[in-house]
Amino acid sequence: MIPELTELLTGNPYPGRGVLCCRTADGVLSGGYFLTGRSGASRARELRRGPAGELTVAPTAPTSPTAPTAPTGHDSLRHYTAVRESADCLVFGNGEQVGAVAARLAAGLRPAEALDGLDYEPDPPIFTPRLTAVVENGAVGDGAVWFGAARRSAAGRAATDRMTLRVEGLRAGEGVLMTTYRSDGVEVATGEPYAEFRTAAAGPGELLDQLWDRLDARLRVAAAVFEPGRLPEAEIRQAR
């Protein structure tokens, strides 16, 4: 049986970062991106809107003497453009590969080609996967949604395992979720390749409410939900 999105999130107390795409109960195709964090540096971040409507993960300024302090300067593993859109496609993910994939698509590569050749993050011991989603703006109908994952082998091989998933014909209430981690609340491991889910959320706003409410309030950092072709109207939720 396909689980509800709320079940997947509740059953994974520390998902790290996540990308999802679904067609909400009212038939709207929506993408989503969220961040959770355990360290002070990971929690001292926010989603910011850029001049072209892009969403960037950036450090926050401390709001009090006891608030987590973000490191000074750019950290490529924590600060990056997470969501970018052109006239042809919407690209979102958990790192600087979003820009690389968007550039490849702009150069004429197809999504499967643009998602190839990426590597997992160089952050031992967990080696966080790079997760990327591509929605061609023509996919507002019955087109395909693409997911890519660059993961370190569970067997410990240094070579990157790369997976590309093409999802077609999402029906109302159906979606796909990828997370960087899976956790029982204590131990943390690399997330499963992907999970299909159902949702009763009607529209992007309800989807964001559902997503935000089921993330652990002690760990959640930021989340956004957006429609292809309407990124400047993305709905954002911040912990700080």
pLDDT surpassing 50 at residue 67: no
Burial class (CB in 10 A: 0-12, 13-18, 19+), 155: exposed
What are the structural domains of the chain? Answer: 5-238 (3.60.20.20)
Burial 212-224 (b: 16+ CB within 10 A, else e): bebbbeebbbbbb
- Residue 139 to residue 136: CA distance in whole angstroms: 5
Report residue 139's pLDDT band, with 50, 70 and 90 as the boundaries. low
Helix ranges (H only) for the chain are 5-10, 40-43, 97-106, 111-114, 204-214
Report residue 70's pLDDT band, with 50, 70 and 90 as the boundaries. very low
pLDDT of residue 119: 97
DSSP of 54-65, one letter per residue?
Answer: -EEEEEPPPSST
Segment 4-50, tens digit of pLDDT: 999 999 999 999 999 999 999 999 999 999 999 999 989 999 999 99
DSSP 99: H
- Mean pLDDT across the chain, nearest whole number? 91
The angle formed by the CA atoms of residues 218, 92 and 12, to the nearest 5 degrees, is 35
The answer to whether the CB of 175 falls within 8 A of the CB of 199 is yes
pLDDT of residue 62: 60
Q: What is the pTM of this model?
A: 0.92
Report residue 73's pLDDT band, with 50, 70 and 90 as the boundaries. low
pLDDT surpassing 90 at residue 156: no
Report residue 137's pLDDT band, with 50, 70 and 90 as the boundaries. confident
Two structure tokens written together for 162: 């790369």
Please give the residue that has the higher pLDDT: either 69 or 143: 143
pLDDT of residue 194: 97
The answer to whether the CB of 15 falls within 8 A of the CB of 189 is no
Question: Which backbone phi and psi does 132 adopt, to 5 degrees?
Answer: -140, 140
pLDDT of residue 52: 87
pLDDT of residue 34: 98
Please give the residue that has the higher pLDDT: either 140 or 38: 38
Q: Which residues have CB under 8 Å from 21's CB, separation 6+? A: 29, 30, 31, 32, 133, 135, 145, 147, 167, 170, 175, 176
pLDDT of residue 55: 98
pLDDT surpassing 50 at residue 179: yes
Question: Pairing state of beta strands 130-136 and 145-152?
Answer: antiparallel
